Amino acid sequence: MLKIFLANLSLFGHDVSTLKLLGWGIGNLCIWLLFTADLQAATQLPETGFSREFINKDTTNRASSSTLLRRQPLLIAAPENFNPSLKIAPPPPPKPPEAPKPPALIETTKPTVVWDSLQVDFRNNLDNVDQSNQFIEPTAQFRLQNGNKIIFKTGFNSFDQPGVESITNIPFQVGWEGKINQLTVQTALGVDLFDRLPTAINLDARVEAPIGINVDPTGKLRSGLVVSANLEQGPYKHNARTLDNQITAWRFGPDLYWQIDSNTSLFASFRLGKYNDRNDERQLFSRLERKLGQFSVAANLFNWSYDRNLESTSGYFSPPDFLVYNAELAWEGDVFEFLSCRLSATLGRQRLQGKIDRANDYQARCTAKISPNVEADLGYAFSNVKNNTGAENYNGRTLTGQLRFKF
């Protein structure tokens, strides 16, 4: 669940009614006229976050005096009318017309839950050793009155591999995201259902803290630091053989995102993994990126190591020492008013089992703005970065897609 998250800004308007009393006296008898006038008040609830959000503002207008005069008055008896000793009987006044009952006031309230967005992710991984993993996972997000979010995620996933019967997976997960002071907290718990394997539990947790965030008037991050702690547990969906062996893993570790200036950023991530086959892993990834207008350059470093290589028995890629370093050149811009694209190429080296080889990656992704509230992504990637020790000239291809609805 991707989600480097900033907080959003929302503005809500609500009416506060005050009472104005207008009275007149006929002799010593006073009858008071009650009418209402609306005042407007606005409260700004700051919500900042790292993720992209829409910012909405409600506008309010004062009711005109002519509108107030048209409202039906309510008649209230003055105190003197309950005690004759407080007044001298005046000449009999004309009988006032009977006031009709005021219309019932309709109190407008904000709904408890609002459907905020729907996102459908698609990913198909293929390689030259005939492994195929396909993921179709929709995620629905609902916003509560207090700004917290409830997230429902499901999917339909399939895993195919030579020599192993194909596996179908349907995940269900319920999550919560909210603010605790300056911390953004995300939690999720669910189950993974399989067509021929036992049901497995999955969980995710993340706590994110911003430090020294500096944002310009347009909402763009100028500088700042965001650190987070992450925890996840569930079936390791590396391939069909790994699932067939019912391999599960705990992973935990920190992330760091540092916006050095408006065009320079550093991201670093560290993970420790503990598997139910008594294997342990360590992952370290870092990326330094500099934007140059529509172009960007980046340097990437990735190191992955396991205590034992159990690929032949457990089925997953578990190198004792795997190192990848490369440089990336990318372009991102608008092709048409409704279509933007990103193209990137990385050239570098990889070291596996003491052997150094080329590590190249090519990616293309386009985003189409179908309507103000609907966007679609389509991407393709080709890479020869190894994910299998059995293939001499390993390469993988990934087709990705995403459909986003904002309500």
- Indicate the average pLDDT of the chain: 81
Give the residue among 157, 253, 237, 147 at the shortest CA–CA distance from 205: 253
- Residues 257-308 pLDDT 10s: 999 999 999 999 999 999 999 999 999 999 999 999 999 999 999 999 999 9
Indicate the DSSP class of residue 51.
S
Select the more confidently predicted residue: 64 or 394. Answer: 394
Q: Once rounded to an integer, what is the mean pLDDT over residues 199-204?
A: 97
- Residues 126-157 pLDDT 10s: 999 889 999 999 999 999 999 999 999 999 99
Q: Considering the chain, tell me which residue range(s) the CATH 2.40.160.40 domain(s) occupy.
A: 116-406
pLDDT of 27 reads 39
- Residues 91-128 pLDDT 10s: 455 555 556 666 655 556 778 999 999 999 999 999 99
The domain defined by 116-406 carries CATH number 3.30.2350.10 = no
pTM of the model: 0.72
Residues 6+ apart with CB under 8 A from 371: none
Report the C-alpha gap between 300 and 378 in whole angstroms: 24
Q: Once rounded to an integer, what is the mean pLDDT over residues 158-184?
A: 96
What angle is formed at CA 333 by the lines to CA 226 and CA 257, rounded to 5 degrees?
A: 10
Residue 309 has pLDDT above 60, yes or no: yes
Residue 254 has pLDDT above 50, yes or no: yes
Residue 89 has pLDDT above 80, yes or no: no
pLDDT of 23 reads 37
Joined together, the tokens standing for residue 41 give 């008040």
| Cβ neighbour number for residue 208 with a 10 Å cutoff | 24
Residue 360 has pLDDT above 60, yes or no: yes
